[in-house]
């Protein structure tokens, strides 16, 4: 919880010197933390912005997940970065509830299927932003053999970044994980945003590897590629994800 508070204070303290950034969409999964368990998912690294944008160091991209009930989880998503001109560039904070609406698993084949929803307000912590936004995703997931896949589809209305109008868009993505032998897994994502507002669309893919020596700790290395005008061009991110029991 001290780490969570520190990350929030970092976002707020950087607001005065920072500039607004266009939102990026990272697909999520249907993993639910057990009640009373905190999962801290951090990524740090370097990202090359769009053709007209600077490099930035992500310090960090974070997601805090707290298990409330077996079917309910509280998530806090945000990003704090510093660009090549030493400007702080925090993104707005998404506070959401993740809900598993339905699920089934075969004890014979091990195949599983689930439906979920993630929705909540976006708080205007980015510099110059105002008003509260909202973001919501429908989640459809399945497990077949060693492969776990989750489709994401939804949309968002962001806080107004600078008084010129809100960023609004429709987003879709695929979160993919393939379990290898032992503690190793391959990771992949494909995500895109079609903006309703006057912003260039985004299409981004990632690929990487994850090492999970125990259930309460993951370490990953992920590369990023962007394809459309509004996308980051490339990036390399190191991820660490420890879990803690709060209750």
- Tens digits of residue pLDDT in 70-79: 999 999 999 8
> Is residue 17 predicted with pLDDT exceeding 90?
no
Mean predicted confidence (pLDDT) in 32-52: 90
> Is residue 14 predicted with pLDDT exceeding 50?
no
Task: State the pLDDT at residue 205.
Answer: 97
* Per-residue pLDDT band at 26 (split at 50, 70, 90): confident
3-state secondary structure the chain: CHHHHHHHHHHHHCHHHCCCCCCCCCCCCCCCCCECEEEEEEEEEEEECCCCCCEEEEEEEEEEEEEEECCEEEEEEEEEEEECCCCECCCCEEEEEEEEEEEEECCCCCCEEEEEEEEEEEECCCCCCECCEEEEEEEEEEEECCEEEEEEEEEEECCECCCCCCCEEEEEEEEEEEECCCCEEEEEEEEEEEECCCCCCEEEEEEEEEEEEECCEEEEEEEEEECCCCCCCEEEEEEEEEEEECC
Q: Any idea what the CATH number is for the domain that residue 111 is in?
A: 2.40.160.40
d(CA 30, CA 150): 7
Domains in the chain, number: 1
* Per-residue pLDDT band at 51 (split at 50, 70, 90): low
* Per-residue pLDDT band at 58 (split at 50, 70, 90): confident
d(CA 152, CA 2): 31
- Tens digits of residue pLDDT in 116-152: 999 999 999 888 889 999 999 999 999 999 999 999 9
pTM over 0.75: yes
- Tens digits of residue pLDDT in 171-208: 999 999 999 999 999 999 999 999 998 889 999 999 99
Q: What percent of the chain has pLDDT over 70?
A: 89
Residues whose CB falls within 8 Å of the CB of residue 67, separated by 6 or more in sequence, listed in order? 32, 33, 34, 35, 36, 37, 38, 73
Q: Are 87 and 122 in contact (CB under 8 A)?
A: no
> Is residue 105 predicted with pLDDT exceeding 60?
yes
d(CA 181, CA 34): 25
| 113: containing domain | 2-245
> Is residue 86 predicted with pLDDT exceeding 70?
yes
Could you give the count of Cα atoms lying within 13 Å of 214 in the half-sphere of its Cβ? Answer: 5
Q: What percent of the chain has pLDDT over 90?
A: 65
């Amino acid at each position: 919880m001290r780490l969570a508070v520190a990350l929030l204070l970092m976002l707020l303290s950087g607001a005065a010197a920072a500039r607004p950034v266009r939102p990026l969409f990272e697909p999520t999964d249907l993993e639910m933390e057990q009640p009373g368990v905190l999962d801290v998912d951090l990524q740090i690294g370097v990202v090359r912005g769009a053709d007209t944008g600077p490099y930035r160091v992500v310090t960090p991209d974070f997601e805090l997940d707290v298990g409330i009930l077996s079917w309910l989880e509280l998530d806090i998503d945000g990003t704090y970065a510093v660009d090549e001109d030493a400007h702080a560039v925090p993104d707005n904070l998404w506070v959401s509830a993740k809900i598993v609406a339905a699920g089934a698993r075969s004890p014979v084949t091990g195949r599983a299927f689930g439906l979920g929803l993630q929705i909540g307000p976006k708080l205007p912590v980015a510099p110059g932003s105002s008003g509260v936004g909202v973001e919501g995703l429908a989640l459809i997931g399945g497990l077949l053999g060693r492969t776990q896949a989750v489709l994401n589809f939804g949309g968002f209305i962001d806080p107004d970044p600078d008084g010129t109008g809100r960023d609004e868009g429709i987003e879709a993505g695929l979160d993919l994980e393939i379990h290898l032998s032992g503690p190793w897994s391959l990771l992949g994502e494909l995500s895109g945003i079609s903006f309703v507002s006057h912003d260039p669309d985004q299409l981004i893919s990632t690929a990487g590897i994850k090492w999970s020596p125990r259930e309460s700790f993951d370490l990953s290395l992920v590369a990023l590629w962007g394809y459309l005008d509004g996308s980051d061009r490339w990036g390399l991110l190191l991820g660490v994800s420890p879990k803690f029991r709060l209750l």
